Amino acid sequence: MKFHTEYLTFNTRKHREYIHITPQVEEALHKSGIQEGMILVSAMHITAGVYVNDNESGLIHDIDKWLEEMAPFREDYEHHQTGESNGDSHLKSMLVHHEVIVPVTGGKLDLGPWQRVFYAEFDGQRKKRLIIKVMGQ
């Protein structure tokens, strides 16, 4: 079995942003030379996430709206007593989750017809990383 690791760095312009990263994941797969296996894509921060869904702007807006309804910004999170102000960002990350595993078949991402990989930033405007770990033969 072979392994290949890459890191992506993000410093978003907005507090919350959803970034299509399928091309970067495909590039890491290409560099690895792996034909059969899987790719782990994982945010390395507790206020970010990774998910698979359609790359359609209306849906991305709906996801953002739903997450804000589920975990709205509020002043009264107990987490804020530590000096932080990002309690909602931690909760949004839990809803999206921090990683996905994508199968690799025939040297290509084995995604459904509309599936794409996204990095979700919930506490941005600062430097954050993501790991792409390709595993297989």
Domains and CATH numbers, the chain: 2-136 (2.60.120.460)
The predicted pLDDT at position 86 comes to 96
* Strand runs labelled E in the chain: 2-10, 17-20, 37-43, 48-53, 99-105, 108-109, 116-121, 128-136
Confidence grade of residue 13 (pLDDT, cut at 50, 70, 90)? very high
The predicted pLDDT at position 48 comes to 98
- Are 34 and 133 a contacting pair, CB within 8 Å? no
Measured on CA atoms in the order 12, 13, 14, 18, is the torsion positive or negative?
negative
Q: Which residues pair with residue 41 across a beta bridge?
A: 100, 132
Chain mean pLDDT for the chain: 97
Classify strands 99-105 and 116-121 as parallel, antiparallel or unpaired. Answer: unpaired
- For the chain, the distance separating the N- and C-terminal CA atoms, rounded to the nearest angstrom, is 5
Share of the chain above pLDDT 70, in %: 100
Tell me the pLDDT tens digit for each residue of 80-134: 999 999 999 999 999 999 999 999 999 999 999 999 999 999 999 999 999 999 9
